[in-house]
């Protein structure tokens, strides 16, 4: 079978198979992750607002054609605060496993780490309906924590894998393709969830059965097609293997030394990358987690329309991500713009466009068409973050990309935990005026993090990528000794 596959697919570059399968991993993982954001609108019973007003400053009047299906129809009496804890519980588990997963991926390769980061959450996702029925909100919080714990290593593992397969001038494209699974999973998770719930006789549990099943189906295909590096890949042609080895040998070592923690944690460009990712994370996770609630509670869309309209901005984000990443690599390869400036330019456009249009959506009030347009442009602009802050860890340290990506993942998880909690506290009545405060906070976060990234970010490989700490410390001592010996003594 292996020989037949190699003959059949010899002309297919295996590095792009890795990227596509990584994209599917992200797709499956994010569909499982965000499915609860749609499902929870149908799990929770309608809660009376403290204000009965339906003015443009509170909530919008129900659409006549959907008035019977816009409100929550569930049985669980969970207030906004409890829902915020439920939605953020995933990220507490996600936070814990980032750095251990990144270290394991750098040391042993990303294949098995990434595979288990999809398989384990898939099994747990299948159990969610049973757990919720038996233990209510407490059970849901615990199992979502475990789902987050199981999937926390996926992004750093994929980052480590891509760093061993992506040529320097293809880095933005391959990483963007792999990470574009985040948007694809978000689109599928939102759009398909609404349809599944609308037409399924069992209601909201169907989403967890479908997405958990997809994760289990993905796993054996991943293990058969993907490998840690070109040297051990059974399907790769000698031509591609030699091409990769020749192009990547400058900044990649087969066995990286001990992780240079001191240099990583004191690197100004690394911190600039982390701050840039934190800004992106705030807006992305605030919207991906709570936008379905805004569509349901404020704009009063039906569950089916909610799913499709919430998915639309992320579909645009996917196209922008892929297109801008090709443009970024072209600018870098052609020498028209330096890698550092490409990262900063794309970050600037992404941050300001997203911030402005998200705030504008809140001032569009109950003009539903205009709100959807503004959200689509604002969220779509987030695609420009990928050839900037999101790919930057591969620029700075190809040998330790799994670890650096994991450190960035910790920052993302902290923000992802905070975002739904803050939304739950600020929007107890789910009114336009409350949500406007949330969007203005997002504007400020984007502006501040953009300033930090544009001032201190770097797009070049850092010196500590090629030296482990012990070697560098000894080199510094030797250099100081030679300098002292060369200085003539005074008389």
pLDDT tens, position by position, 401-421? 777 877 877 777 788 788 878
Residue with the larger pLDDT of the pair 137 and 412: 137
Lowest mean pLDDT among 31-45, 350-364, 476-490: 476-490
Q: Which residue range forms the structural domain that includes residue 273?
A: 21-47+72-228+263-468
Please report which confidence band the pLDDT of residue 297 belongs to, taking 50, 70 and 90 as the band edges.
confident
Q: What is the pLDDT of residue 445?
A: 94
State yes or no: pLDDT of 75 exceeds 60.
yes
Task: Check residue 255 and give its pLDDT.
Answer: 57
pLDDT value of residue 407:
81
pTM recorded for the entire structure: 0.69
Percent of the chain whose predicted confidence (pLDDT) is above 90 = 30
For position 128, what pLDDT does the model report? 95
Is 120 part of any domain? yes
**Least confident interval from 126-130, 147-151, 157-161, 213-217:** 157-161
Compute the mean pLDDT over every residue in the chain, rounded to the nearest whole number. Answer: 82
Instruction: Give pLDDT, residue 483.
Output: 40
pLDDT category of residue 253 using cuts at 50, 70 and 90: low
User: Which of the pair, 475 or 208, is modelled with greater confidence?
Assistant: 208
Query: Is 243 a member of any domain?
Result: no
Could you please report the per-residue DSSP string of 322-364?
A: HHHHHHHHHHHHHTSS-HHHHHHHHHHHHHHHHHHHHHHHHHT
Asked, for residue 250, whether it belongs to a domain, the answer is no
Lowest mean pLDDT among 115-129, 161-175, 432-446: 161-175
pLDDT at site 252: 54
Mean pLDDT in residue range 422-442:
88
What is the reported pLDDT for 250?
55
CA distances from 412 to 113, 129, 261, 281, 473 (A): 19, 28, 19, 5, 32
Decide which of 358 and 292 is more confident. Answer: 358
Residue 51's pLDDT is 43
Assigned token pair, 207 = 């989403």
Q: Report pLDDT for 491.
A: 33
Structural domains in the chain (count): 1
In the structure, what pLDDT confidence band is assigned to residue 156 with cuts at 50, 70 and 90?
confident
Alpha-helical regions (H) of 44-109? 80-96, 98-108
Specify if 373 maps to a domain: yes
Per-residue pLDDT, 48:
53
Is residue 7 pLDDT above 70, yes or no? no
Please give the Cα distance from 393 to 400 (Å, whole number). Answer: 9
Angle at 382 between CA 376 and CA 386, to 5 degrees: 145
In the predicted model, is pLDDT for residue 213 greater than 80? yes
Lowest average pLDDT, out of 8-17, 80-89, 146-155, 459-468, goes to: 8-17
Return the closest-CA partner of residue 419 out of 224, 274, 286.
286
- Structural domain contains residue 29: yes
Give the C-alpha separation, 191 to 154, whole Å.
23
| C-alpha dihedral sign at 116, 290, 389, 457 | negative
196 is written with which tokens? Answer: 């599944």
* Contact (Cβ atoms closer than 8 angstroms) between residue 449 and residue 275: yes
CATH of the domain at 342: 1.20.1250.20
Report how far Cα 463 is from the mean position of its chain's Cα atoms. Answer: 28
**pLDDT of res. 10:** 57
Higher pLDDT, 326 or 143: 143
Q: What percent of the chain has pLDDT over 70?
A: 85
How much is the pLDDT for 115?
A: 94
- 256 domain-assigned: no
Which residue, chain included where needed, has tokens 């792009």? 16
Assign 486 a pLDDT band (cuts: 50, 70, 90): very low
- Nearest CA among 221, 293, 278 for reference residue 34: 293
Return the top range by mean pLDDT from 98-102, 344-348, 474-478.
Answer: 344-348
Residue 126 has pLDDT above 90, yes or no: yes
Per-residue confidence (pLDDT) for residue 348, from 0 to 100: 95
Q: What is the pLDDT of residue 113?
A: 92
Q: Is residue 1 part of a domain?
A: no
Mean local confidence (pLDDT), 285-301: 80
Residue 127: its pLDDT value, please? 96
Q: Is residue 6 assigned to a domain?
A: no
Q: Which residue has tokens 């007003």?
A: 53
Residue 249: per-residue pLDDT: 65
The arithmetic mean of pLDDT across residues 97-116, rounded, is 85
């Amino acid at each position: 079978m292996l020989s037949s596959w190699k003959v059949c697919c010899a002309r297919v570059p295996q590095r792009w198979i890795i990227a596509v399968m990584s994209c599917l991993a992200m797709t499956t993982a994010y569909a499982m992750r965000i499915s609860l954001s749609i499902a929870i609108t149908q799990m929770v019973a309608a809660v009376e607002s403290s204000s009965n007003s339906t003015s443009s400053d509170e909530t919008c009047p129900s659409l006549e054609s959907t008035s019977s299906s816009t409100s929550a129809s569930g049985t669980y009496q969970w207030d906004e605060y409890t829902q915020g804890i439920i939605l953020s519980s995933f990220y507490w588990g996600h936070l814990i496993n980032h750095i251990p997963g990144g270290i394991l991926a750098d040391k042993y390769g990303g294949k098995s780490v990434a595979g288990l980061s999809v398989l384990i959450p898939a099994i747990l996702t299948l159990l969610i309906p049973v757990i919720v029925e038996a233990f209510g909100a407490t059970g849901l919080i615990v199992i979502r924590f475990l789902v987050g714990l199981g999937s926390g290593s996926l992004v750093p593992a994929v980052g480590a894998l891509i760093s061993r397969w992506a040529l320097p001038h293809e880095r933005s494209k391959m990483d963007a393709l792999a990470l574009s699974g985040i948007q694809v999973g978000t689109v599928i998770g939102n759009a398909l969830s609404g349809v599944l719930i609308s037409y399924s006789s069992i209601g909201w549990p169907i989403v967890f059965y479908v997405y958990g099943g997809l994760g289990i189906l993905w796993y054996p295909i991943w293990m058969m097609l993907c490998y840690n590096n070109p040297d051990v890949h059974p399907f790769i042609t000698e031509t591609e293997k030699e091409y990769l080895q020749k192009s990547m040998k400058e900044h990649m070592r087969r066995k990286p030394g001990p992780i240079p923690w001191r240099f990583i944690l004191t690197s100004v460009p690394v911190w600039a990358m982390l701050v840039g990712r934190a800004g992106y994370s705030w807006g992305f996770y605030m919207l991906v987690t709570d936008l379905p609630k805004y569509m349901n509670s404020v704009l009063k869309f039906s569950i089916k329309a909610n799913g499709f309209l919430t998915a639309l901005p992320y579909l645009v984000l996917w196209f922008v991500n892929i297109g801008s990443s090709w443009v970024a690599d072209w600018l870098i390869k052609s020498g028209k713009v330096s890698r550092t400036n490409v990262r900063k330019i794309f970050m600037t456009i992404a941050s300001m466009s997203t911030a402005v249009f998200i705030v504008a959506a809140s001032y569009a009030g109950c003009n539903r068409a205009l709100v959807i347009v503004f959200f689509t442009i604002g969220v779509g602009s987030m695609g420009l973050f990928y050839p900037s802050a999101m790919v930057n860890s591969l620029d700075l340290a190809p040998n330790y990309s799994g670890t650096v990506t994991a450190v960035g993942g910790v920052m993302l998880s902290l923000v992802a935990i905070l975002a739904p909690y803050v939304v739950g506290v600020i929007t107890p009545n789910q009114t336009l005026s409350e949500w406007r405060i949330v969007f203005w906070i997002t504007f400020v976060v984007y502006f501040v993090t953009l300033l930090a990234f544009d001032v201190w970010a770097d797009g070049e490989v850092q010196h500590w990528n090629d030296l482990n700490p012990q070697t560098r410390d000894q080199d510094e001592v030797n250099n100081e000794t030679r300098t002292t010996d060369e200085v003539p003594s005074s008389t």
